[in-house]
Amino acid sequence: MRLLHTSDWHLGRSFHRESLHDAQRAFLDHLVAVVRAERVDAVLVAGDVYDRALPGLEAVALFDEVLFRLAELGVPTVFISGNHDSARRLGVGSRLIDRSGIHLRTDPDGCAVPVLLADEHGPVAVYGLPYLEPAMVRERFGLEKGGHDRVLGAAMDAVRADLATRDPGTRAVVLAHAFVTGGEPSDSERDITVGGVASVPAGVFDGVHYAALGHLHGCQTLAPHLRYSGSPLAYSFSEADHRKTMWLVDLAADGTVAAERIDCPVPRRLARLRGPLEHLLEHPGFAEHEESWVRATLTDPVRPSDPMERLRARFPHTLQLLFEPEGAPGDDPRSYAARVSGRSDQEVVEGFVAHVRPGRVLDDTEQGWLLEGLEAVRCAEERDREAAR
């Protein structure tokens, strides 16, 4: 059986305020084309369909359109809800939609109720495990306490128990949205640390032939049967080196897996540039990034004037500007809290000004403004205390 594994669409998300609507539409067009061209038997979408619990109308329209197109192809598709999705909203109409071959698995009570598929080698049971928030689902699984590892382990116990009642030759596929130990995160995933436990052991998924994972945005293989597809688009500059793909998985008659990466369309390359401003503006080696989305980190010892405007003259798609001066006076490896410990409010503010404007001290006028501002704040705090009394 040929499966197409994808996840983390995050429909409705932008990239540093740049709309990704057209890029997400292009990805969904690509997905449908791959399903048709590669004669895919089933599509697996491992959570985070939307970027937020209340998605915008444009995102909902994209989802509605791709559901219709997949149903029209007659290719069974299994979705689970992720930690960004509202499970209840994503699952609206799921029983009715099931009839069209689109299976929305968002209810924890249905973890052990598979979507049953078949090929010439026999049955394939596809179990959809939505993102399981421990505080919300512990009681359903008979647990008094425990984090994500415990609730996911209980869900997989239920999957294995159901699988044991089926024909011995049944191949098992599970979709899950989790941070599995050994996976490599990026900056764009929302933290799902719960109960002090951020990750679950890979052994949780023992007993199934393929686990289609979602949540981490980088495509990666933890074991031949245990893979993240990653997000189809980059959602942070930490993903600049990612190759965005889907997994095309062939599940053999004996349950062994062969997988191939299918590249996703790239709307615009990402570049992380670092150095003094003039170096970034003049060096010919940066020419290849002139049409990229750019994050620039300036290392000038003194902050240059109008840096964003000057950068955009060469790199018009500069989206993020950071300032990390090298060799600036007063460089200190201690934490900020340690550096300001014991200082007065005036000393803290003066230190901040010196940090963002190295090499220039406050003149008399600025010093007067600073003292006046601090006094106004103290007076306001005193009025608030009097009002509280």
Q: CATH number for the domain including 146?
A: 3.60.21.10
pLDDT for 194 equals 38
pLDDT for 385 equals 60
Residues 26 and 125 in one domain: yes
Beta sheet of 226-228, edge-to-edge order: 115-119, 122-129, 171-177, 210-214, 226-228, 220-223
Residues 164 and 296 in one domain: no
Per-residue pLDDT tens digits of the chain, which is 389 residues long: 999 999 999 999 999 999 999 999 999 999 999 999 999 999 999 999 999 999 999 999 999 999 999 999 999 999 999 999 999 999 999 999 999 999 999 999 999 999 999 999 999 999 999 999 888 888 888 888 878 889 999 999 999 999 999 999 999 999 999 999 988 888 877 766 533 446 899 999 999 999 999 999 999 999 999 999 999 999 999 999 999 999 999 999 999 999 999 999 999 999 999 999 999 999 999 999 999 999 999 999 999 999 999 999 999 999 999 999 986 555 555 555 666 666 778 878 877 877 677 666 778 788 878 888 877 787 777 676 666 55
Q: What phi and psi, each to the nearest 5 degrees, are found at residue 115?
A: -85, 120
Residues 109 and 252 in one domain: yes
Q: Domain range spanning residue 366?
A: 332-389
Domains held by the chain: number: 3
Using the 3D structure, point to which of 233, 263, 293 is the last residue of a domain.
Answer: 263
Residues 83 and 219 in one domain: yes
pLDDT for 195 equals 39
Structure-token match 């109008």, residue found: 306
Residues 134 and 213 in one domain: yes
Residues 166 and 27 in one domain: yes
Residue type, 164: A
Angle at 158 between CA 155 and CA 164, to 5 degrees: 145
Residues 212 and 346 in one domain: no
Residues 382 and 242 in one domain: no
Given a contact cutoff of 8 angstroms between Cβ atoms, the answer to whether 176 and 152 are in contact is yes
Residues 250 and 286 in one domain: no
Residues 323 and 344 in one domain: no
Q: What is the largest CA-CA distance in the chain?
A: 85
Given a contact cutoff of 8 angstroms between Cβ atoms, the answer to whether 216 and 179 are in contact is yes
Residues 248 and 275 in one domain: no
pLDDT for 148 equals 84
